[in-house]
A and B are shown apart, each in its own frame.
Chain A
């Protein structure tokens, strides 16, 4: 007979207990130290910081540990924590031209002032499993010395094109950008707001959209004018002091693309720009962001609406947040039996109606 659905509370507690033990794994193995995650899974940590919109490698590592390696769950933990933090003010814009670069490449010029610096990249590795890492994975005892730090000022490569007017100008703008985390998203969104949404958008979603532009859905062929990864100082104006102070530094990835040109009989042809900026070493995300940014600028640049997904800001901005997406997707696991019951009654009634009609028709 009918068993009442009691005991939800006990079931939840038991499930959480099981979850804790599953996360810990076999107790005869050493527990993961979150410092190991921070330092040895640093690209994962960077993704959690970028999409969690909070620069804190220690907390990102903790979130990855607590989430059992589920990156979107880890990002969610960081977002839910971040939203409780008081906001004291805004930093000055970071100066990426003054970045202490550890990687800086250009696909458009063989060499340029500042040089090409490959840095710690997978780009030219052969993707062969390195079984030594399964044993101990210790590095050779006598590694080659790391290069000396790059010079303090590495100029942006696109600034050389800009000098000749070959690329659209990107003048500095002192207007305070809107803040997605404090104001509801209103459409249409201007470029600063779009860039903010893309910066915290899902890497996989942006990758797919960016890829679609490369395959012809709003193609605007992109060259990576420059990709740089490194640390920049974060400064804040303190009104009481009357000058700005250094709060610390953050690692950033910045991607500037050079895209196909605009121009007409009267206006000289000019390359256009796409821009990506993300926390940590997250270059796939930064490049994808730049391509999607460029695709979303079609109206401003006088291009045609090709009906491509990457051109549609309402489509992109409404669906790029993985915390919103996963929440709504997964909520269909929750009980819906009241709605389903209503549908069940409706379908039964409609079926009865059809049967009656068929009978009448037969007679």
Chain B
């Protein structure tokens, strides 16, 4: 049921065209943050308005959409965004990673490898990887223009000096195609390696901050590190209590008030498939 009061996928065609131009520019300059005239959406900033606008500009009527938040399809905001596109674009939706053509995500990359026929849309809160080192946009744009990333290297070094390792566990900065340092959105660093050489198109939308950026298919994405302190994609040292997977990202669930806990896959589709197929 499409809501007839609104255009297909909510945004008017001129706005979609403006967003598509930003996406194309982003794909042409991998990792570069393209300013775009983000619109007020009917959900609040911080709820994924950037991702929603990118998805709206990307969707075609025959697309199959999957929306996940924290790896799960049934978290409240994933449900809400999926419903929004069912209502305004009447596209088919799925919880299956393999069955989707467009996947909008918050904080995770699916465990199931993506393909060339898929677009992964990330919701981004703070697109600027240098923001917490330099609050001024005028200054960070200069840093990117000159690839003057020494500040970031110093920060990573200070982490090692203080803690013995780089103390960033999510939104871990990456270098894209050997040029721009990019914020991968707040995915756990466990997911970072999946971004590199990925067959799917990866698009990033930051609505409040009015930025779109992209990683084209088969692009090299390197997590920043040092030769003597190489990047490690870490996760909880457990297996999933439901499907038994030893190499998927795990959520820790508190099960009783005596400190009991269990670990289960954060990617609910991956976990359900394994449990059903008896893969465990």
A-to-B contact residues, CB < 8 Å? 1-2, 4-9, 11-12, 76, 79-80, 82-84, 86, 181-188, 314, 318, 323-324, 326-332, 334-339, 341-346, 349-350, 353
A337 near B137 (CB under 8 angstroms)?
Answer: no
A341 near B44 (CB under 8 angstroms)?
Answer: no
Q: Looking across the interface, which residue of chain B has its beta carbon closest to that of A332? A: B46
The distance in angstroms between the C-alpha atoms of A329 and B44, with both chains bound, is 10
Chain B 37-67 interface 0/1 with A at a Cβ cutoff of 8 Å (1 = within) = 1111110111101000000000000000000
Q: Looking across the interface, which residue of chain A has its beta carbon closest to that of B138? A: A187
B-to-A contact residues, CB < 8 Å? 6, 12, 35-42, 44-47, 49, 69-72, 74-80, 83, 106-108, 125, 136-138, 163-165, 167, 169-171, 186-190, 208, 210, 234-236, 241-242, 249-253, 255, 262, 264, 266, 268
B76 near A12 (CB under 8 angstroms)?
Answer: yes
A342 near B46 (CB under 8 angstroms)?
Answer: no
A331 near B37 (CB under 8 angstroms)?
Answer: no
- Identify the 6 closest CB pairs spanning chains A and B, nearest first: A331-B46, A327-B45, A342-B169, A327-B44, A184-B35, A342-B188
Q: How far is the CB of B1 from chain A (nearest CB, A)?
A: 16
B37 near A183 (CB under 8 angstroms)?
Answer: yes
Q: How far is the CB of A177 from chain B (nearest CB, A)?
A: 15
* SS class, residues of chain B in contact with chain A: loop
B42 near A80 (CB under 8 angstroms)?
Answer: yes
6 sampled A-B residue pairs with Cβ under 8 A: A5-B75, A327-B46, A330-B46, A332-B46, A334-B106, A342-B189
The distance in angstroms between the C-alpha atoms of A334 and B106, with both chains bound, is 11
Q: Which residues of A contact B251 (CB under 8 A)?
A: 337-338, 341
The distance in angstroms between the C-alpha atoms of A341 and B186, with both chains bound, is 12
Q: Which residues of A contact B39 (CB under 8 A)?
A: 83
Q: How far is the CB of A137 from chain B (nearest CB, A)?
A: 36
B138 near A331 (CB under 8 angstroms)?
Answer: no
B75 near A187 (CB under 8 angstroms)?
Answer: no
A186 near B35 (CB under 8 angstroms)?
Answer: yes
A334 near B208 (CB under 8 angstroms)?
Answer: no
B169 near A8 (CB under 8 angstroms)?
Answer: no
Q: Which residues of B contact A4 (CB under 8 A)?
A: 74, 268
Q: Which of B75, B76, B169 contacts A343 (CB 8 A)?
A: B169
Q: How far is the CB of A17 from chain B (nearest CB, A)?
A: 15
Given A324-B45, A327-B208, A341 and B236 contact (CB-CB distance below 8 Å): yes
Q: Looking across the interface, which residue of chain B has its beta carbon closest to that of A343? A: B169
A327 near B210 (CB under 8 angstroms)?
Answer: no
The distance in angstroms between the C-alpha atoms of A339 and B126, with both chains bound, is 14
Q: How far is the CB of B157 from chain A (nearest CB, A)?
A: 16
The distance in angstroms between the C-alpha atoms of A342 and B252, with both chains bound, is 10
Q: Which of B40, B136, B164, B249 contacts A350 (CB 8 A)?
A: B164
B44 near A330 (CB under 8 angstroms)?
Answer: yes
The distance in angstroms between the C-alpha atoms of A341 and B12, with both chains bound, is 39
Given A337-B251, A338-B251, A80 and B163 contact (CB-CB distance below 8 Å): no
Q: Which of B76, B108, B189, B262 contacts A11 (CB 8 A)?
A: B76
Given A5-B74, A183-B37, A338-B170, A328 and B125 contact (CB-CB distance below 8 Å): yes
Residue among A324, A330, A344 having the largest count of chain B Cβ atoms under 10 Å: A324
Q: Which residues of A contact B136 (CB under 8 A)?
A: 314
Q: Which residues of A contact B208 (CB under 8 A)?
A: 324, 327-328
The distance in angstroms between the C-alpha atoms of A144 and B159, with both chains bound, is 74
Q: Which residues of B contact A338 (CB under 8 A)?
A: 70-71, 107-108, 170, 186-188, 249, 251, 266
The distance in angstroms between the C-alpha atoms of A331 and B43, with both chains bound, is 11
15 extra A-B contacts, CB within 8 A, seeds A335-B75, A337-B70:
A2-B242, A5-B74, A8-B79, A9-B83, A76-B44, A83-B40, A185-B210, A186-B35, A314-B136, A327-B46, A330-B44, A338-B251, A349-B165, A349-B234, A353-B164
Q: Which of B6, B75, B137, B186 contacts A8 (CB 8 A)?
A: B75
B241 near A2 (CB under 8 angstroms)?
Answer: yes
Q: Which residues of B contact A185 (CB under 8 A)?
A: 210
The distance in angstroms between the C-alpha atoms of A298 and B187, with both chains bound, is 42
